[in-house]
Structure 1
Amino acid sequence: MRLHRNLCFSVIDGLTLIFNEGNYADKVIQQLLKRDKRWGARDRAFVAETTYDIVRWKRLYAEIAEVKEPFDRDNLWRMFAVWATLKGIKLPDWTYFENTPTRKIKGRFDELYKIRKFKESIPDWMDELGEKELGKEIWTQEIAALNEQADVILRVNTLKTTKEKLQTELFDLDIETEFLKEYPNALKLKERSNVFTTEAFKNGFFEVQDASSQLVAEFLNVQPGMRVVDTCAGAGGKTLHIASLMENKGQIIALDIYANKLHELKRRAKRNGAHNIEPRAIDSTKVIKKLYDKADRVLIDAPCSGLGVLRRNPDAKWKLQPDFIEKIKETQQEILQQYSRMVKVGGQLVYATCSVLPSENQNQVSTFLKSEAGANFSLIKDKKILSHKTGYDGFYMALLERKA
């Protein structure tokens, strides 16, 4: 591979924004890709994948390059040189790469690769927490899986098309996909491609949604005609899936504390042809209280650490802090206590997170069931999804039923 100066400069600019100014990697990369209209697909892929790569392995590369935060541009070029050397890419004769100790880089990599926190490029506290909660063997396998690049998975919108028809339509555009066993509405891309520019996407035939995430709506056990409340709907990935499972029959009340996310949900619902969704912003406790004892099904897709989705959000490793996880656990229990009251007798509730930590998952459900609010609920089943076992995001979901 030959390195091109303008592409490398874009990567360095992006890393400056992500590491030094705290910007989100996905937003930075979106902006970088609009820089030069002359760039082809290969150029854009280089900028996106190289930036994500260096973000993912920040701690390892910084240690090898012997640089510390905040990184100036010279530091970032040294980290870039480490990335290129370890990828076997010949460094061009540029000022930034003068005196790069190629042999030393490889030797240092061999040393650090024996220490998990460097090998997997994670903060000390995260490494200790993962081992404490999952055990050494499982955590070692899980964090390795969470450092792999995520596949692109589509969820077919059955309100508008079928899996077979969508596969054929994409194949005609040279986008090859494959079915996934045990994921009824999923198509996996065989090679990465910008599917958002296709007519099929614009027509609402599919959404991009990880395979693990697609299991949550199925777990909720919805039927057409029910009243369902999605309590932390956000921009509505799971809400839209629920709408398709309900065949547009019945009512879905989509709640969120952020009104702007619900505006995005409204836009997506229109594209998807989902007509039974009613967004409601939680601007007071009245919104929740009005729904007490009214729902056949309630989904709590709870705010969490997001440790199960590090593959697609590698910069989260550097943004997350231990005190945030402690606070979010309090929030999770508060939400369970409050929102569970919307379930009517005989109704069901799903509590879900995109975390792999038992303290955010089964422990929260256990605490809830022992509480006064949870006394009338029983656990029907739960599912722990680990990335190293499935190849998809880490997730947890528990199905609870309200008894008489």
Structure 2
Amino acid sequence: MNDSDKIDEQKSLYDGVRGKAVKLLNRIDKTDAYLDKLLEVEMRNSELSGRDKALLYEIVHGVVRWMGRLDWILTGFYKGQFAKIIPNIKNAMRVALYQILFLDKVPDYAAVNDAVEFAKRFQGQKSADIVNGVLRSIIRSKDGIRYADRNEDLILFLSAYYSHPSWLVKRWVNRWGEEFTEKLMNANNNRPKHTIRVNRLVTSVTEMEKLLEEIKQKYYKGRYLKNFLKLASLNNITDWKYFKMGYFSIQDESTGIPVKLLEPQPGMKVLDLCAAPGGKS
């Protein structure tokens, strides 16, 4: 087998949305690479449809966000040391379990079947049978999954259930108490909202809304500022020609409030110390 054949075989192992999700999660496990950067490169170079790209984004972000709870459950159902499973199989099970627990539109059997087939390609039938058995056992017990007793070990319970590191949970509980900490972790696990700022030097909010409607992109008006729009999703929007033409920037609405409050007038001198359009200074 020549090098080209090996590359093609490697690519085929990670075919499809779930396979690509596993590949990305493997890279996150092995390196300090930023998730969003890895996703951006993968989506730019893949031939996935818009819907599949949205699913890939949801799965990878969801697994990372809920990895603490996913690993707690898998560790409890896996007969052996789940932590020592090879990354491909471990992440395939995480991907499947995330779909089972959090994605109602994905049937349980589809999530299990993809994970089983993936395990079979990498480690054969025995590994596939183990993956199948673990995931189906979880499905049967989905409504009765046990976590640590919060009355006996509050930190362990909150850490596993809300998927936050125990050291951080302990600090928050000591600082703010149990009730506020739980609310904070719950809010922290919400999917982030995607917001754009309409560049009114180039276009108008009305025209921007019409352009979004043409591509069937759902949006909501900003809560405080008229030139901000919240998007239901943000899949490959930076590849859209209107982004490149400067019609809008990806920017949280809160960042526009200081400008509104300062209300700079013509003739005033403004010292801009920011690093627009986006990113951290």
Please give the TM-score of this superposition, normalised by the length of structure 1.
0.51
Map 1:34-49 onto structure 2 (within 5 A): 34-37=44-47, 39-49=48-58
Retained in 1: the 8 A contact 2:59–2:99?
no
Contact 1:58 1:121 in 2 (8 A): yes
**Number of the residue aligned with 2:134:** 100
Supply the AA of the counterpart residue of 2:146. Answer: E
Matches within 5 A, 1:114-263: 115-231=157-273, 233-237=274-278
In 2, the alpha carbon distance for the partners of 1:178 and 1:48 equals 21
Q: Distance in 1 between matches of 2:62 and 2:275?
A: 28
CA–CA separation in structure 2 for the residues paired with 1:64 and 1:18: 21
Offset, 1:59 = 1.3
Q: How does 1:274-293 map to 2 (within 5 A)?
A: none
Give 5+ residue unaligned stretches, structure 1.
Answer: 238-260, 262-300, 304-404
2:79 is matched with none
One-letter code aligned to 2:228: A
CA distance 1:75–1:174, shift in 2 (3 Å)? closer
Which of 91, 95, 98 matches 1:80? 95
In terms of fraction of residues, the more strand-rich structure is 1
Structure 1 residues 98 and 165: alpha-carbon distance in aligned structure 2, compared to 1, 3 A threshold: closer
Contact 1:16 1:71 in 2 (8 A): no
Q: 1:32 to 1:218 in 2, by over 3 A?
A: same
Aligned-residue offset at 1:109: 7.1
Q: 1:228 to 1:189 in 2, by over 3 A?
A: same
More helix by share: 2
Secondary structure at the aligned position of 2:44 is classed as coil
CA offset at residue 168 of structure 1?
2.2
**Distance apart, 1:76 and its partner CA:** 1.9
Question: What is the letter of the counterpart of residue 12 of structure 1?
Answer: V
Question: Matched residues, percent identical?
Answer: 21
- Equivalent position SS for 1:155: strand
Measured against aligned partners, the alpha-carbon deviations of 1:27-76 in whole angstroms (never above 9, x if no partner) come to 11112223432x21122122221111111111111121223379622222
Residues 99 and 214 of structure 1, relative CA distance in 2, 3 Å threshold: same
CA contact (8 A) 1:152 1:192 kept: yes
The alpha-carbon distance between structure 1 residues 47 and 101, as it changes in their structure 2 partners (threshold 3 A), is closer
Q: Which runs of 5+ in 2 are unaligned?
A: 1-13, 76-81, 121-127, 151-156
Task: Give the match for residue 30 of structure 1.
Answer: 40
- The match for 1:392 is none
1:20–1:71 contact (8 Å) kept in structure 2: no
1:146 is displaced (CA, Å) by 1.8
Equivalent position SS for 2:200 = coil
Q: Which amino acid aligns with 1:74?
A: I
Q: Which deviations, in whole Å up to 9, do the C-alpha atoms of 1:226-273 show, x marking residues without a partner?
A: 222233x23444xxxxxxxxxxxxxxxxxxxxxxx8xxxxxxxxxxxx
The TM-score with structure 2 as length reference comes to 0.71
Secondary structure, in 3 states, of the residue corresponding to 1:161?
A: coil
> Could you say which residue in structure 1 is the equivalent of 2:108?
89
Distance change in 2, residues 1:24/1:168 (3 Å): same
Please give the alpha-carbon distance, in whole angstroms, between the structure 2 residues aligned to 1:62 and 1:19. 14
